[in-house]
Structure 1
């Protein structure tokens, strides 16, 4: 089977969809993994444990944000290098990315293990669930280096036009994780009984195995981004490439921090509403991961496709890629929003149980807020195109305004009048505000004038 698509010459509508579908399937698997893990935790350990994983997963999202930003920068650099036909430059980007962020992820894992209690205290985690959240979060840090490195490799492969290989090994990680959850939670067979920590242990084992397997496959199939022989020196970070990745990746990482920081602030408001509301919000977040999957997948596909066409100088195709991505997003995201609103009770009961008092709270949250993911999907495509040419500062500024003055302003400013509804309504309000500003940036901004995403020749004049 052909793994890598030609994103520069192939028909846009069909190619974008074919390229996005494996990425969407990867997102489905990843989200299903988290959802099934939540089901195992909820069914085997109860609502308190679900609330504990909600806090723990939010912290992990915050910890991975910076590396995700650098992964996005690597994806764009790889994509533009492939568009220019410079495979050697793409390999140098991957070498610098891996050589830099494997050590960083190991440091984050160690620091996170020791600081987990303090982080949970900052969140205002309910004392009733703090021990569970601590046990879950500390073991989850064992998976962090594998998760970050695996994510980096998958993003780089997509930048080269290969969305199938990441799908295969995402599937491997999900099968292992979901299968091992009950084994380590309950201590089946020779496995120790670890309770909520067993769910995190299953995640750690699954991601380390998937990382080893994808590396083996890259070399066994001699994929373009593999490093052999003298190319292994690329694992020593190139200062020029690293500086470019820092300059572009840091703002994208900060964007994730902004989103995470806003969610952390929202989480403190949610936690004040009681454990039932926290559990309901956790279940709603699980469902929202599915609703936003088309936006995330199409955003990634548009970013890679736009980057390669920009690298090849095919600006005539970039606008068509963007418009096609927007149309696909409205259709797919809108369908999922409608489906969730129709089947909200059944969806909530999967995570919370039929007799849970949190079900009705979750249904109410979904009714007020889920529609906002339609404008969110359009924004993801616009930002993907803008970032594909290296413009990362204005998207960061837009997200900051949307997440803090707008979203938190609505949540706090209307709380006395609307109660908890102000929290839920702040989500779509922020998404609409982001879309308005992103549209203005795409139409009138100077992002097309960026010219600093080309990787310089290696010392000694090495060329592809």
Structure 2
């Protein structure tokens, strides 16, 4: 655990971002590991089946991730003002409400899996594979959620090192279990694409168990026996006031991804496979920017809780500069090595060469998005630390549904640039998002927002219950 209300901000941003970045690399690793194993062991059609599910898998748990973001913000602010009693109440109230929603979302995902796959125009030749993969991923969602919740709680406390340990465990289990479930071993039969989902879920379940036991020894807040099991109306309200717009923001982005995938699927399996590879690489390349944003949220949140607004402004400047440098590096790497990177996911064949050609075309445009991410993610991190997630929702909606989607359909439509028009629209919307977000940061009312009162304030009606 680390206090960011004192010390040199530049060093804190870099020192805290780096382990977060490593943790996020490991968190994304199991998705990339899955896709590599699927592509190498089962071929490009299996890759396309997994790719068709990715926007749905990102969309369904978005509400839970938003609640986790709210918990992170509240924990950071309470920790910044040294309010231990409030911390324990935030943990208990946020955890149990989120678990209930996780089970509900998992059930809805399973019940409506056919409609979801039809919604993204999943090609018939990969439909059965995509269906089995999606069903299992939805069934195992609760384990992935708990890993994510533990990590968010630790980051709010400024502890990124333990997150790295937990995610190293998760990635290691994936490396071992995913190929075993795909190809089978001993009494375990080959499960194909479904095996990738089963292996990933089993890895998350094992990580939940071992991670909790480990944290019982080293973290004073994780022990559920020591939590304050009182329903706190203010905490629950703030979790939803912050978390629902954050969730809707992610849903807007994921829903935009569904429309993009639906449009991409019209150009055939090879383009879909190329886009699936591109999405996985983009998720990896986006990790530094997500990490910078998370670091900005925690550092700014602690300082807002402590009333140090000048340190928040300094955090923004340093985070944006850091993000721009990383973004330019990503652009150069992807322009120079797009085909080599794409080749990692496929075994050599005439069809894979065609797919890699589409990957190269994709990055002629998408490579230039990453400097935009450097600004947007840093600004989002600071705004989120103040709980101003409604503004982030509005900004994302404008960028995605008023700019990206209409532009993509226009540029890729009849007489347009086909799939290249989609990539052009994605770049244009990202560039415009930079200006919109920076303008709001400079002029918006986020600086005046106040969240929970200190725990000593008797302003909340409470109802006790036992564990």
User: What is the TM-score of this pair, normalised by structure 2?
Assistant: 0.94
SS in structure 1 of the partner of residue 189 of structure 2: coil
- Per mean C-alpha deviation after superposition, the further-off stretch among 115-124 and 64-73 is 115-124
1:134-181 Cα distance to aligned partner (Å, 9 max, x none): 011111123200111221121111011111111111110111012111
2: CA distance, partners of 1:194 / 1:232: 44
Displacement after TM superposition at 1:379 (Å) = 0.6
In the alignment, what sits opposite 2:232? 238
Which SS does the other structure have where 2:125 is aligned? coil
> Retained in 2: the 8 A contact 1:143–1:204?
yes
Aligned to 1:444: 443
- 2:51 is aligned with 1:54: yes
Matched, 1:393 2:387: no
Report the equivalent of 1:364.
361
**Aligned with 1:8 (options 5, 10, 13):** 5
1:224 maps to 220
Indicate yes or no: 2:99 matched with 1:107.
Answer: no
Deviation at 1:433, TM superposition (A): 1.4
Which 5+ residue runs of structure 2 have no aligned equivalent? 462-467
Paired with 1:354 and 1:443, the residues of 2 have a C-alpha distance of 51
Look up the match of 1:316: 310
**Superposed counterparts of 1:158-169, under 5 Å:** 158-169=155-166
More displaced stretch, 274-283 vs 30-39: 30-39
Question: Conserved in 2, the CA contact under 8 Å of 1:52 and 1:132?
Answer: yes
Displacement after TM superposition at 1:457 (Å): 4.5
Mapping of residues 30-429 of structure 1, within 5 Å: 30-221=27-218, 223-227=219-223, 229=225, 231=227, 233-234=229-230, 237-355=231-349, 356=352, 357-415=354-412, 416=414, 417-429=416-428
Q: 5+ residue gaps in structure 1?
A: none
Q: Is the 8 A contact 1:173 1:210 kept in 2?
A: yes
Task: Tell me how far apart the structure 2 counterparts of residues 22 and 105 of structure 1 sit (CA, whole Å).
Answer: 27
Kept in 2, the 8 Å contact 1:410–1:426? The answer is yes
What whole-Å deviation, never above 9, does each CA across 1:230-279 have from its counterpart, x for those lacking one? 63525xx4332111111111000000000011110111100001000000
Q: Distance in 2 between matches of 1:458 and 1:94?
A: 18
C-alpha contact 2:408 2:425 (8 A) present in aligned 1: yes
Do the aligned partners of 1:87 and 1:224 also contact (CA within 8 Å) in 2?
no
Give the whole-Å Cα distance in 1 for the aligned partners of 2:390 and 2:111.
33
Contact 2:28 2:283 in 1 (8 A): yes
Change (3 A) 1:308 1:424: same
Contact 1:185/1:198 (<8 A) preserved: yes
The answer to whether structure 1 residue 22 and structure 2 residue 19 are counterparts is yes
Distance 1:59 1:458 in 2: 42
The CA RMSD measured in Å over matched residues stands at 1.7
- Structure 1 position 212, deviation (Å): 1.3
**Matched residue of 2:158: which SS?**
coil
Deviation at 1:458, TM superposition (A): 7.7
Q: Does structure 2 retain, via aligned residues, the 8 Å contact 1:126–1:271? A: yes
Q: 1:283-324 CA deviation, whole Å, 9 max, x = no partner?
A: 011111122111000100010000001101111211111111
Q: Is the 8 A contact 2:338 2:360 kept in 1?
A: yes
State the alpha-carbon separation in 1 of the partners of residues 128 and 446 from structure 2.
Answer: 48
Tell me if structure 1 keeps the 8 A contact 2:3–2:80.
no
Change (3 A) 1:191 1:232: farther
The CA deviation at 1:224 is 3.5
Question: Is this contact kept in 2: 1:79–1:311, CA < 8 A?
Answer: yes
**SS of the residue 2:253 aligns to:** helix
Q: How far apart are residue 7 of structure 1 and its match?
A: 1.0
What is the Cα deviation at residue 208 of structure 1? 0.9
